[in-house]
Amino acid sequence: MKKYDVVIIGGGAGGLTVASGASSLGAKVALIEKERHLGGDCLHVGCVPSKAFIQASKDIYTARSKGKELGLDVSGSVDLGKVNERVQQSIIAIQKHDSDERFTSLGVDLYKGAGTFTSANTVRVDDQEIYGKRIVIATGSRPLIPPIEGLNDAGFWTNENLFKQKELPENLLVVGGGAIGLELSQALSRLGSKVTIVEKGKKLLSTEDESIQKAAVYILEKELTIHLNSEVKKVQITSNGRKRVTIHKGNEHYTEEYDQILLAVGRKPNSERLNLNAAGVFQDERGFIPTNEKLQTNVPHIFAIGDINGKFAFTHVAGEEGKVVVQNAILGVPKKMSYNHIPWNIYIQPEIFHVGMTEQQARKFGIKFSVYEVPLTDVDRFISDQEADGLIKIITDQNGKIIGAHAIGNGSGDWMQAVVFAMKKGRKIGDLSQMIYPYPNHAAAIKRTADLYWRSKLFSGTIPKLTKKYISWFR
Ligand SMILES: Cc1cc2nc3c(=O)[nH]c(=O)nc-3n(C[C@H](O)[C@H](O)[C@H](O)COP(=O)(O)OP(=O)(O)OC[C@H]3O[C@@H](n4cnc5c(N)ncnc54)[C@H](O)[C@@H]3O)c2cc1C
Ligand SMILES: NC(=O)c1ccc[n+]([C@@H]2O[C@H](COP(=O)([O-])OP(=O)(O)OC[C@H]3O[C@@H](n4cnc5c(N)ncnc54)[C@H](O)[C@@H]3O)[C@@H](O)[C@H]2O)c1
């Protein structure tokens, strides 16, 4: 039996980080992946295709909406096949970074097939069994399919087959209004479908700061039909091949017809095929594998990272957890994973950026805080771009230390990154206005917000009294 310092099950965002980190440090590494290509969900059916898809929809929307303003009439319908060809080109281009050759050249032994535990130190792939002194589970998740009567017979789309489709449905029902549902609903609507969202919760974007949430819903409602507190209970195929859907909202029931259904109701962990019992690894009732701060499962030499541990389902989190595991499992330098400053973006247009506490959380935890908020209509570049929908909000403690920052605005996921750095380094909001921002960039929105802090300091409290005295003396 071949023996390894570390065996990794799953070659996606988390697993690949561990494989490259561990092999670069000289460890003997085995990487097991059940699919033909490495890269996982993010590359093949998640972040990469969805962002390429969103960009295509943005291009079409801009040509149509802005073209008209400039006297150019863009008409006609979109060829979904062509959109998805472009999406696939993006995947192929990025796949090169995650190629088999890259990992084998680092010294990683690749096993293609589904990994199954046979004991706490051994994993079977097809007819081979390998030994790992340490084992990392990084098997990710897949779309959750809710038990809706008639759904399987009627057929549906998920993120796993959307990016292969060729025909844009005229009327599309999206079930689930979370990150996936909203990003893809808006993109499909901008490509030309009439999109309706059915969301079980009483509110969209409930984890976002309320100012951002309200601004986003106001924008989304202009493009999408949204049913809250609602669930799809039944789907039937009509004689002309459409999907007749029964929707329940409280005690109300009604039926509507759609050409296609896209499911986005959350994720299911890929744990069934692992035979976790053989290794004695605990899983919760939904199949996620809990870990401690060092990312160890209940079996200390077995780690679980990425979507499978049920903490934060983001590629950057899987990557960061992978780095922590390299330290713990390969170097033996105890390191805890910190989830304190995890930012995320929701790529609707305009984008949502989120890091740290919301105003509502700060209030709930009884923290004394200040809020500095600026609408993008106060920022020159957004005005000149004619894209001034949105706002930025920075929340600080009483000493000016940043405890949360939120924005909705074109490209906010990029231009808000400076705030993540400031938070990570424990800097105060005032520090953010002590840099020079090249005029007229979008990040100047941060400066305008941070300037509010200085203004509040200068025009209230003891400082203005002292400066008045000083100026009269100096005169
Ligand atoms: C539509 C969509 C859009 C998204 N957009 C974003 C985004 O913009 N930004 C962001 O940060 N996150 C985004 N995410 C989330 C992101 O894709 C995941 O959080 C990330 O892929 C998790 O990485 P992972 O390593 O845990 O799992 P994955 O990347 O899914 O990798 C798991 C790998 O394990 C393999 N595997 C599973 N079981 C076995 C087994 N038994 N044996 C061997 N191999 C196995 C799988 O084939 C897969 O390759 C998006 C997700 C979706 C679905
Ligand atoms: N931009 C990004 O970083 C990005 C983009 C997409 C996905 N992701 C990650 O992927 C994860 C999964 O995304 P998701 O959108 O599938 O899950 P989600 O948990 O974010 O949203 C699922 C939504 O479906 C609703 N829902 C559940 N069951 C339902 C039902 N039967 N009928 C109607 N609505 C129902 C839930 O109330 C929820 O609002 C996200 O949590 C996020 O971490 C990230």
**Which residues make Cβ contacts (< 8 Å) with residue 399, sequence separation at least 6?**
428
Q: Which residue has its alpha carbon closest to ligand 1 atom 26? A: 306
pLDDT for 438 equals: 97
- Alpha helices by DSSP H, listed for 209-271, are 210-223
Domain ranges of the chain: 2-143+268-331, 153-266, 350-458
Q: Which residue has its alpha carbon closest to ligand 1 atom 35? A: 10
Q: Is the dihedral of CA 153, 155, 160, 161 positive or negative?
A: positive
Q: Among 442, 440, 443, which residue's Cα sits nearest to residue 421? A: 443
Q: Is residue 319 lining ligand 1, measured as CB closer than 6 Å?
A: no
- Alpha helices by DSSP H, listed for 386-425, are 412-415, 417-424
pLDDT over threshold 80, residue 468: no
Query: Which ligand places an atom closest to the C-alpha of 52?
Result: 1
Percent of residues in the chain assigned helix, strand, coil, to nearest 5: 40, 25, 35
Q: Is residue 21 lining ligand 1, measured as CB closer than 6 Å?
A: no
Burial tier of 59 (Cβ tally within 10 Å: 0-12, 13-18, 19+): middle
Question: Could you tell me if 123 and 40 are in contact, meaning their C-beta atoms sit under 8 angstroms apart?
Answer: no
Q: Count the residues in the chain.
A: 475
Domain 2-143+268-331 matches domain 153-266 at the CATH topology level: yes
pLDDT for 458 equals: 78
Residue 187 CA, ligand 1 centroid: distance in Å: 21
Q: Is residue 31 lining ligand 1, measured as CB closer than 6 Å?
A: no
Q: Which residue has its alpha carbon closest to ligand 2 atom 41? A: 313
CA distance 160 to 158: 5
Mutate to test the pocket of ligand 1, among 33, 38, 47 (most ligand atoms within 8 A of CB): 47
Terminal-residue alpha carbon distance, the chain: 87
Q: CA dist 361 to 120, 327, 369, 390, 422, Å?
A: 41, 32, 11, 21, 20
pLDDT for 472 equals: 77
| pLDDT tens-place string over residues 330-371 | 999 999 999 999 999 999 999 999 999 999 999 999 999 999
pLDDT for 186 equals: 98
Q: Which residue has its alpha carbon closest to ligand 1 atom 7? A: 47
**Which residues make Cβ contacts (< 8 Å) with residue 18, sequence separation at least 6?**
6, 8, 29, 136, 138, 305, 322, 325, 326, 329
Query: Which ligand places an atom closest to the C-alpha of 317?
Result: 1
CA distance 142 to 308: 10
Q: Is residue 169 lining ligand 1, measured as CB closer than 6 Å?
A: no
CA distance 472 to 328: 62
User: Which tokens sit at 232?
Assistant: 């799809």
Neighbours of 96 (CB within 10 A): 9
Residue 97 CA, ligand 2 centroid: distance in Å: 28
Fold (topology level) of 2-143+268-331 = FAD/NAD(P)-binding domain (3.50.50)
Q: Among 55, 47, 59, 321, which residue's Cα sits nearest to residue 179? A: 47
Tell me the whole-structure pTM to 2 decimals.
0.96
Q: Is the dihedral of CA 215, 218, 224, 230 positive or negative?
A: positive
Please state whether beta strands 128-137 and 302-304 pair in parallel, antiparallel, or not at all (unpaired): parallel
CA distance 191 to 187: 6
User: Which residue is associated with the tokens 């098997």?
Assistant: 139
| pLDDT tens-place string over residues 174-213 | 999 999 999 999 999 999 999 999 999 999 999 999 999 9
Q: Is the dihedral of CA 399, 400, 406, 408 positive or negative?
A: positive
Q: Is the dihedral of CA 65, 70, 76, 77 positive or negative?
A: negative
Q: Which residue has its alpha carbon closest to ligand 1 atom 20? A: 315
Question: Could you tell me if 222 and 348 are in contact, meaning their C-beta atoms sit under 8 angstroms apart?
Answer: no
Where does ligand 2 bind, in terms of residues with CB under 6 Å? 146, 175-181, 183, 198-201, 231-232, 264-267, 313-314, 344-347
Q: Is residue 37 lining ligand 1, measured as CB closer than 6 Å?
A: no
Question: Could you tell me if 9 and 137 are in contact, meaning their C-beta atoms sit under 8 angstroms apart?
Answer: yes
Task: Determine what percent of the chain is predicted with pLDDT higher than 90.
Answer: 93
CATH class of the structural domain 350-458: alpha beta
Segment (H or E) for 142:
strand 141-143
pLDDT over threshold 90, residue 307: yes
Q: Which residue has its alpha carbon closest to ligand 2 atom 14? A: 266
Task: Determine what percent of the chain is predicted with pLDDT higher than 70.
Answer: 99
User: Which tokens sit at 33?
Assistant: 């992946």
Question: Could you tell me if 80 and 167 are in contact, meaning their C-beta atoms sit under 8 angstroms apart?
Answer: yes
pLDDT over threshold 80, residue 473: no
* Homologous superfamily in CATH for domain 153-266: FAD/NAD(P)-binding domain (3.50.50.60)
SS3 at position 382: helix
- The mean predicted confidence, pLDDT, of the chain is 96
What are the two backbone dihedrals, phi and then psi, of residue 7, each rounded to the nearest 5 degrees?
A: -110, 130
Beta strands, E only, 300-382: 302-304, 344-346, 352-356, 369-375
Q: Is residue 140 lining ligand 1, measured as CB closer than 6 Å?
A: yes
Annotated binding site for FAD: 51, 115, 139-141, 307
pLDDT over threshold 80, residue 16: yes
pLDDT over threshold 80, residue 474: no
Residue 181 CA, ligand 2 centroid: distance in Å: 7
Residue 108 CA, ligand 2 centroid: distance in Å: 34
Question: Predicted confidence band at 459 (pLDDT cuts at 50, 70, 90)?
Answer: confident
Atom of ligand 2 nearest to the CA of 159: 16
What are the two backbone dihedrals, phi and then psi, of residue 230, each rounded to the nearest 5 degrees?
A: -125, 150
Say yes or no: ipTM exceeds 0.90: yes
CA distance 164 to 166: 7
Query: Which ligand places an atom closest to the C-alpha of 352?
Result: 2
CA distance 33 to 111: 6
Q: Is residue 14 lining ligand 1, measured as CB closer than 6 Å?
A: yes
pLDDT over threshold 80, residue 101: yes
Return the half-sphere exposure (C-beta side, CA atoms, 13 A cut-off) of residue 30.
27
